Amino acid sequence: MAQRPEIMRASIGIDYSRYATGAIAFDYERLLDDTGYDIGAVREIQSRTAVGNTPLIELKNITQLIRTVSSPGYGARIFVKDEAANPSGSFKDRRASLSVHEAKRRGYRGVVAATSGNYGAAVASQAAKAGLQCIVVQEAFDSKGIAQPEIAEKTRACEAYGAEVIRLSVGPELFYVFLLTLKQTGYFNASLYSPYSILGIETLGYELAYQTQQLAGRFPDVVIATHAGGGNVTGTARGLRKAGATESQVIAASVDLTGLHMASDHDFNRKSFTTGHTGFAMPFTTWPDRADVPRNAARALRYMGRFVTVTQGEVFYITQLLAELEGLQRGPAGNTSLAAAFAIAQELGEEQIVVVQETEYTGAGKHPIAQLNLAKQMGIEVTRGDPRNNRPGVKIVIPENPAQLHVTEVNLNQVRHSYIQHAIKALPGEQILSETDIEFLAVETRTNNNYVENVIHEIHRKS
């Protein structure tokens, strides 16, 4: 663990210290620019391996259903970007494509990724195309050897593409094994949080902006992204801006798993979702640099206009609704944002446009029935009723009718306050925040210097 800086520098080829501008501030845009890839280059690289250019589909039947439960004149049009059309079946192919390309360009023999989800399959798929070896380090099961069916499905996908999968029980050993694997193999770190990963997602926002313009005559009013570690929101928002869709509001959506600890052996199989939930979204939003690289390129708080949560039961419900009304069997992660879109569209006029910015492939292990069966085995009550009665790890409540779908707002000011508090705690030694640091925090929190300074004074006063 003490060798982490050296291992990271050797495995990703970036000297992050070059970008430091203050005690906690760094030059974020320069970090991304120094990769040498603009959006045109990324799109061209992705086209070589059939990544991207996925269809944008209008969900006409779901839109019509929304209007039956909306006030007259309300119920925005819903579109979905069908990222299941990518080679491994999710938007994660975009993240993996540029990382694998960079590994190949630099002469690495293989790539390593730490993930329990679709990203491992995406890296394995891209590595297979590039002729590189691939190792996926996966947090797979609890101490009793019980694995979530969704995670087992993703293990199968990784192995199908030729990757070696190192499966571990939940706990802190994941990062240790990840570092050890990088050191022993000398492979490239295909981190979810590197600049290459985020630049790969920018094409998603870029494409959906132009596709919406082509299909509807204008940019989307709202783009909703399922939010976990922050890369999905960050990359999509940056791509929208590069396409000129600067007025499109970006909303982050997560499954509410309040009370469940992601590193808890007891809670591991009680969360029923492996990604897109608050167990990742909240800690990474309030302090993104808890990642496996020194500086996380996924910085979602810079870009989100709103942050909402939905319940587990609502995501399972909308997954079935999508299949039965639109003939699309997708999910579950992308359907987190679709569940949020169903509720948010009711706030908007019929002429407005909401884009759900990704879907993912499904499989036997990802199907709601498999996840709900495990939940029952873990002693969780599964019932129909009002989803507001959902209790993570105790009760999953599946709505009885579509009018019950709703979103819960996350107070962004509280999130910003927590971020700034983490920044103060991260200060080395007796250092204090400089003017450069305060300006950095203002950009990070989408506020201004006065806001940051007021929060700092409040934190110091309470301490």
Are 256 and 332 in a shared domain?
A: yes
Residue with tokens 């591991």: 268
Among candidate residues 193, 232, 244, 221, the one with its CA nearest the CA of residue 12:
193
Among 410, 425, 453, the domain boundary falls at 410
Q: What is the CATH number of the domain that holds 142?
A: 3.40.50.1100
In a domain, 9, yes or no: no
pLDDT for 423 equals 96
Q: How far apart are CA 263 and CA 261, in angstroms?
A: 6
Which range marks the domain in which residue 265 is found? Answer: 39-410
Are residues 421 and 357 located together in one domain of the fold?
no
**Quick one: 183 and 234 in the same domain?**
yes
* Dihedral angle of Cα 127, 45, 214, 347, to the nearest 10 degrees: 50
Number of structural domains (the chain) is 2
Q: Are residues 305 and 386 in the same domain?
A: yes
Q: Return the pLDDT at 332.
A: 87
Same domain, 105 and 235: yes
Is the pTM here over 0.85, yes or no?
yes
Do 305 and 339 belong together in one domain? yes
The verdict on 240 and 348 lying in the same domain is yes
Low-confidence residues in the chain, pLDDT < 50: none
- Tell me what pLDDT residue 289 has: 95
Statement to judge: residues 280 and 428 lie in one domain: no
Residues with Cβ within 8 Å of 398's Cβ and at least 6 positions away in sequence, in order, are: 313, 314, 316, 317, 382, 383, 384, 385, 387
Determine, yes or no, domain membership for 21: no
Residues 200 and 331 in one domain: yes
Q: Which pLDDT score, from 0 to 100, does residue 17 have?
A: 93
Please give the pLDDT value at position 158. 95
Of 410, 425, 441, the domain-final residue: 410
What phi, psi does 384 have (nearest 5°)? -105, 150
Asked whether residue 427 falls in the same domain as residue 284, the answer is no
End position of a domain, from candidates 393, 410, 427: 410
Same domain, 328 and 418: no
Whether residue 337 is contained in a domain is answered as: yes
Q: Is residue 15 in a domain?
A: no
Question: Does residue 263 share a domain with residue 389?
Answer: yes
Distance of alpha carbon 355 from alpha carbon 341, whole angstroms = 8
At 429 the pLDDT is 82
16 found inside a domain: no
